Amino acid sequence: MKTDTAKRVRVCASKSYDVIIDSAILSRSGELIKEVVKPCKVAVITDDTVDKIYSKTVVDSLKKNGFGVVKFVFQHGESSKNLDTYGKILSFLAENKLTRTDALVALGGGVVGDMAGFAAATYLRGIKYIQIPTTLLSQIDSSVGGKTAIDLPEGKNLVGAFCQPNLVLIDVCTLDSLPNEIYIDGMGEMAKYAVLDQNIFDVISGDKYQIKDLIYLAVDYKRRVVEKDEFEGGIRKLLNLGHTPAHGIEKLSEYTLSHGRAVAIGLDIILDNSYSHGYIDKTNLEKINAVVKKCVGENPCPFSIEDICDAAQNDKKRSGDTITLMMVYGVGDVREVKVKADELKGYLK
């Protein structure tokens, strides 16, 4: 049964798919998945925290709709997003004899989505997968657009693939069980969208907003970007705003600092430097800072900028000896600046 509050975004990329945003959608997940994947064997991939809260609802719904279900659970956290867990997921899929007509469901935050997505992209050279994101961050960003990845000891997201999901089911009710600090992590990526998009900026600046509306606006913004540049040859780089320092910060913290917080700090660094390079004036900087603060509060940077620049040297956004930074000229006006890797420390202060 459809509810009248559902919002649907159709992403038309190399594979086209719907992102459905609704309340209490998990109990209908089997029914909705059946609309895009014929009943088959489904591997639900999740972490131990999410498993305890949401697996049963999803598994029951899948079974009720004729799917055979197997489940793989790994320990929550970024430190699991590695070659070891990835290898275990692949072995689990093989042991359970999943074939190319079977499917995988990623149930959890961005860590689950990135890693399960990469397993789906590579197992048997690619099987279908469905994203059921359960953190704000994964609902507005990682579950949409087809970037999948795992980390290496040398750096963040260094192995991955572009592989679009077959469906994304966003249940806003899952946000009710999120600890506040993890919710704020998601608001770090939301702050990024606010700088990129005047509409999102205005909604957050206003007195009151419904998070469901903001999720819709963020997904729809990302849809527009991904449809124009799925493989990040051009404007998709906008979505990396704040991410070069953020990846350095995550690495320096040995991944104890979350991605969302690191993005919030990275955004501060980029905003300060956009001002000191004269790209943005004081009035606009202050307006943007106020919205960022409304999203994430104060986020003091625990590392020196020199260390962050050193740690960011292995960033994916490096090509040859050049690093591409996204700098802020105003709300909705973010531009690419190429900096020699060995000059990054002089450029970011």
Q: Which is nearer to ligand NAD, 77 or 332 (CB)?
A: 77
Q: Which does 236 bind (CB under 5 to 8 A by kind): ligand GLY, ligand NAD, none?
A: ligand GLY
**Binding flag, residue 135, ligand NAD (CB under 6 A):** yes
Q: Return the residues of window 165-204 that contact ligand NAD according to CB under 6 A.
A: 174, 177-178, 182, 185
Q: What H or E segment, with its residue span, contains residue 338? A: strand 333-340
Cα(160)–Cα(170) distance, integer angstroms:
23
Cα(78)–Cα(81) distance, integer angstroms:
5
Using CB under 6 A as the criterion, what x/- string covers residues 229-268 for binding ligand NAD? -----------------------------xxx--------
**Binding flag, residue 236, ligand GLY (CB under 6 A):** yes
**Binding flag, residue 108, ligand NAD (CB under 6 A):** yes
Question: What DSSP character marks residue 313?
Answer: G
Q: Which is nearer to ligand GLY, 219 or 285 (CB)?
A: 219
**Binding flag, residue 111, ligand NAD (CB under 6 A):** yes
- Count Cβ atoms within 10 A of the Cβ of residue 319 and give its class: 0-12 exposed, 13-18 middle, 19 or more buried: exposed
Using CB under 6 A as the criterion, what x/- string covers residues 114-153 for binding ligand GLY? ---------------------------x---x-x------
Inter-residue contact 116 to 90 (CB < 8 Å): no
For residue 76, the SS3 value is coil
**Binding flag, residue 11, ligand GLY (CB under 6 A):** no
Q: Minimum CB separation from ligand NAD for residue 56, in Å?
A: 14
**Binding flag, residue 239, ligand GLY (CB under 6 A):** yes
Q: Which residues contact 337 (CB under 8 A, 6 or more apart)?
A: 324, 325, 326, 327, 347
For residue 169, the SS3 value is strand
Please name which of 71, 124, 122, 116 lies closest in space to residue 99, comparing C-alpha atoms: 124
Task: Determine which residue in the list 41, 76, 212, 293 makes contact with ligand NAD, applying CB under 6 A.
Answer: 76
Inter-residue contact 133 to 140 (CB < 8 Å): no
Q: Minimum CB separation from ligand NAD for residue 166, in Å?
A: 16
Residue 174's alpha-carbon distances to 29, 49, 75, 196, in angstroms, are 13, 12, 19, 26
Q: Which is nearer to ligand NAD, 216 or 275 (CB)?
A: 216
Cα(328)–Cα(195) distance, integer angstroms:
8
Q: Which is nearer to ligand NAD, 134 or 274 (CB)?
A: 134
Inter-residue contact 237 to 197 (CB < 8 Å): no
Query: Residue numbers of the site for ligand NAD (CB under 6 A)?
Result: 47, 49-50, 53, 76-78, 81, 108-112, 114, 134-135, 137-138, 141-142, 145, 147, 157, 174, 177-178, 182, 185, 258-260
Contacts with ligand GLY by CB under 6 A lie at: 141, 145, 147, 236, 239
